[in-house]
Amino acid sequence: MRRISIFGATGSIGQSTIDLIRRDREAYDVVALTGGANVDLLAHDARALGAKVAVTAYEDKLPALKDALAGSDIHAAAGAHALIEAADRPADWIMSAIVGAAGLAPGLHALKHGTTLALANKESLVTAGPLLMREAHAHGTRILPVDSEHSAVFQGMVGEERAEVERVIITASGGPFRDWSLEQLAGATLAQACTHPSWDMGQRITIDSASMFNKALEIIETHEYFGFSGDMIEVLVHPGSYVHALVGFKDGALMAHLGAPDMRHAIGYALHWPERRHLPVERLDLAKIGSLRFEAPDEVRFPALRLARDVMEIGGLAGAVFNAAKEAALDAFIAGEIGFLDMARHVESVLNQMSSTASLGNAALTLDTVLEADKEARARVRAAVARA
């Protein structure tokens, strides 16, 4: 039996992971499940899977979690410390699917056990990529990408030499505002930003897809995980979301990965790697789809893409600043405090401020320096939002 833990079990990726595990219940021994405010769902899944421990991120939710687990022998715990403790429980396969930089510390701890970390939490690679990769290397832990584009690149490179790769193209659906003008984007509402044309995901990543901040994070994620330089990484808008990524080789060949827009594909690949097993995902009928559309991305309407290039250029703590500023700006947009286009403006401004005042690019990367840069970037965005 494989011992499995799922961080962010109550979210979109967490639930898709649980769906796969429940289909083959006897194969897995579930160690820890973690979630946030939805303790009823967390307790329900912990019971269904026979987990040893269930952890809510929020201390004030512990009584409710204990109530929901009453009569079971599942240990209930809460708070940041409990998340770290859960990450320290030995498991053979750990899903990192907390949203945001909050996933970094549990992920880093999970890496210490020399097993496999399935990484959906792209923010941890963006904020602290070199730290994460170093830690994985030091403990012999394998990180498998779960983002659909990165899983596609990973699969496209099986049996290939990294040195043969000339370019990597990650696709973007373009989100709900793909063909909106700047004027329209300025007035985009929260409800409009929360409807994604092809993927069903958590609220935050859905809005990040509308602003292309998600793709910006993914450019940096590609750079950090595979080690490709920024000029090798391209973004291609592909509204259908059938082609997830393409790997281009030095002879000009492009290997494309196609599949239905269903995260159970990338999750299942990471779960069964290095094998392939049957997965309950739709099989594409390409004749029915008929044609595949592609467009160049527009960095004027979607400045996040341009900022990702700046972040890679600066290096060091720039990723931590970029991600944290983005998270704080997203909070402000969700709260109705700023407009849709203001998000990128605030992020760019804080990135500029912090890269000119501090030696962001040369700073040593440790969990402490990353968390400090994260805190400062958030505070700067909040202050700017309050001033505006």
Token code pair at residue 117: 């970390």
**CB of 99 vs ligand NAD, minimal distance in Å:** 4
Nearest Cα neighbor of 216 from 233, 229, 200, 202 is 233
The whole-angstrom distance between residue 114's C-alpha and the CA centroid of its chain comes to 22
The verdict on 98 binding ligand NAD (CB under 6 A) reads: yes
| Least distance from ligand NAD to the Cβ atom of residue 102, Å | 3
The packing angle between helices 318-334 and 122-139, to 10°, is 140
Minimum gap (Å) between residue 41 Cβ and ligand NAD: 9
Amino acid at 140: G
Report whether 215 belongs to an annotated binding site. Answer: yes
Amino acid at position 74, single letter: I
Cα–Cα distance between 29 and 52 in angstroms, integer? 9
Q: How far is CA 6 from CA 15, 82, 304, in A?
A: 10, 14, 30
Q: Is 224 in the site for Mg ion (CB under 5 A)?
A: no
Three-state secondary structure call for residue 236 = strand
Segment 142 to 171, residues that bind Mg ion, using CB under 5 A: 147-149
- In the chain, the amino acid numbered 21 is I
Distance, in Å, from the CA atom of 49 to the CA atom of 30, rounded to the nearest integer, reads 6
Distance CA(323)–CA(329), nearest Å, equals 10
Rounded CA separation 118/271 (Å): 8
Shortest gap between Cβ of 324 and ligand NAD (angstroms)?
A: 13
Which does residue 150 touch among ligand NAD, Mg ion, none (CB within 5 to 8 A, set by kind)?
A: none
Q: How far is CA 318 from CA 200, 343, 354, in A?
A: 30, 17, 8
Binding positions for ligand NAD, 102-141, rule CB under 6 A: 102, 120-123
362 has binding-site annotation = no
Closest distance to Mg ion from the beta carbon of 301 (Å): 20
> Minimum CB separation from ligand NAD for residue 352, in Å?
25
Annotated binding residue 207? no
Site size for ligand NAD (CB under 6 A): 25
The answer to whether residue 151 forms part of the interface with ligand NAD (CB under 6 A) is no
Q: Is 223 annotated as a binding residue?
A: no
Peptide bond into 261 cis (omega under 30): no
Longest CA span, the chain:
63
Minimal CB distance to ligand NAD: which residue?
11
Residues 205-224 that bind ligand NAD (CB under 6 A): 205
Q: Which span sits near Mg ion by CB under 5 A: 38-46, 77-85, 140-148, 249-257?
A: 140-148
Mark the segment that binds ligand NAD (CB under 6 A) among 110-118, 198-206, 251-259, 292-300: 198-206
Q: Which stretch binds ligand NAD (CB under 6 A): 86-94, 200-208, 323-331, 359-367?
A: 200-208
Write down the least CB distance from residue 121 to Mg ion, Å: 12
Helix-strand-coil percent breakdown of the chain, rounded to 5?
50, 15, 30
Residue 304 interacting partner from Mg ion, ligand NAD, none (CB closer than 5 to 8 Å by kind): none
Which CB sits closer to ligand NAD, 110 or 355? 110
What is each CA distance from 199 to 167, 174, 206, 280, 297, in whole angstroms?
Answer: 25, 11, 8, 16, 19
Query: First and final CA of the chain: distance in angstroms?
Result: 56
Q: Does 201 bind ligand NAD (CB under 6 A)?
A: yes
CA count, 13 A, side-chain hemisphere, 49: 33
Q: Which does 220 bind (CB under 5 to 8 A by kind): ligand NAD, Mg ion, none?
A: none
Q: What angle in degrees, to the nearest 10, is found between the helix axes of 148-156 and 213-226?
A: 30
Q: Considering the complex, what minimum distance in angstroms separates the CB of residue 57 from Mg ion?
A: 23
The residue from 5, 10, 141, 151 that contacts ligand NAD (CB under 6 A) is 10
Residues lying near ligand NAD in the complex (CB under 6 A) are found at: 8-14, 35-36, 57, 97-99, 102, 120-123, 147, 199, 201-202, 204-205, 263
Q: Which residues line the annotated binding site for NADPH?
A: 10-13, 36, 38, 121, 123, 202
Q: Which residues line the annotated binding site?
A: 10-13, 36, 38, 121-123, 147-149, 173, 196, 202, 209, 214-215, 218
Residues lying near Mg ion in the complex (CB under 5 A) are found at: 147-149
